[in-house]
Amino acid sequence: MTQTEPSTPPAVLFPLGDPFGSVALVQHVGDDKMIVNAARVSFGGDNDAPLTSRDEKLIGYLLKNQHGSPFEHNLITFKVVCPIFVDRQMVRHRVGVSKNEVSGRYVEVQERLYTPTSFRRQAPSNRQASVQDDGSLDQQAAAAAWESAWQASYGAYQQLLSLGVTREQARGVLPQAMYTESYYTFNVRSLLHFIGLRDHAGAQYETQQYARAMRQLAEPLFPVTFAAWDALEQH
């Protein structure tokens, strides 16, 4: 019998520390045992018995040898409220991921903006990356510029709507830091791939926070798989 029993995950997390950005666990299908059964059906060995230490070793073996398909029978659905620029990175994950998003054509875009609590500098050596402010950034001026851009763009959006302009055109003036919301469903294989790439020092800070939140919600549901994946240190 395994020592690592699934526990109840928290229902909702707030990755960016404001009340808008959130990741909620909506539903899940399957468990570590399903992964084992999917693998063992190859030789008629699937069963209803509780997970054993042999099963746990099998999960490690499957991950190590990149036998990916047994990890595709489990599904996890999150409701993700994230800045549009984070969502643009999430939608790049095409395989084993389903998404439905709020439509700015149907509904008026809510007044929800992500505002960084601290602005970062451009990294000197990596053109994609950022580094923490060493004190040389004028945080106040950066916050003021951010706020005035937001006031101008959301004000223009409201003005366009009140002039009778259609929502699908008016939204064009809104910034990438506005929150959008989606249901995302991953299978375990695609979730591990996503977390491996996005809960990583090379990924954007804000996207890392979302990947970590998803992991925090998913790990208690598939504890053996996450433990085996961590042990591999290949992600």
Ligand X SMILES: Cc1cc2nc3c(=O)[nH]c(=O)nc-3n(C[C@H](O)[C@H](O)[C@H](O)COP(=O)(O)OP(=O)(O)OC[C@H]3O[C@@H](n4cnc5c(N)ncnc54)[C@H](O)[C@@H]3O)c2cc1C
Of 18-26, 43-51, 75-83, 88-96, the segment contacting ligand X by CB under 6 A is 88-96
| Count of residues in contact with ligand X, rule CB under 6 A | 10
Strands (E), the chain: 12-13, 22-29, 75-83, 97-101, 121-122, 130-131, 179-187
One residue of 90, 113, 174, 203 binding ligand X per CB under 6 A: 203
**Is 161 an interacting residue with respect to ligand X (CB under 6 A)?**
no
Chain-centre distance of CA 31, in angstroms?
20
Least distance from ligand X to the Cβ atom of residue 78, Å: 16
Of 31-39, 52-60, 92-100, 116-124, the segment contacting ligand X by CB under 6 A is 92-100
Where in 172-191 is the site for ligand X (CB under 6 A)? 190
Residues whose CB is less than 8 angstroms from the CB of residue 4 and which lie 6 or more positions away in sequence, other chains included: 56, 223, 224, 227
One residue of 95, 145, 149, 231 binding ligand X per CB under 6 A: 95
**Kind plus residue range of the DSSP H or E element containing 222:** none
Which residue's CB is nearer to ligand X, number 23 or number 203? 203
**Is 88 an interacting residue with respect to ligand X (CB under 6 A)?**
no
**40 is an annotated ligand-binding site residue:** no
Least distance from ligand X to the Cβ atom of residue 160, Å: 31
> Residues 80, 182: contact at Cβ < 8 Å?
yes
Number of other residues whose CB lies within 10 A of the CB of residue 177: 19
**Is 33 an interacting residue with respect to ligand X (CB under 6 A)?**
no
DSSP string, 174-196: --TTBEEEEEEEEEHHHHHHHHH
**Is 92 an interacting residue with respect to ligand X (CB under 6 A)?**
yes
**Is 129 an interacting residue with respect to ligand X (CB under 6 A)?**
no
CA 90 to each of CA 66, 74, 126, 160: distance values in angstroms, whole numbers, following the listed order = 23, 20, 21, 30
Least distance from ligand X to the Cβ atom of residue 220, Å: 24
Respond yes or no: is residue 40 known to be catalytic.
no
Binding region for dUMP:
89-92, 101-105, 171, 198
Residues recognised as catalytic: 198
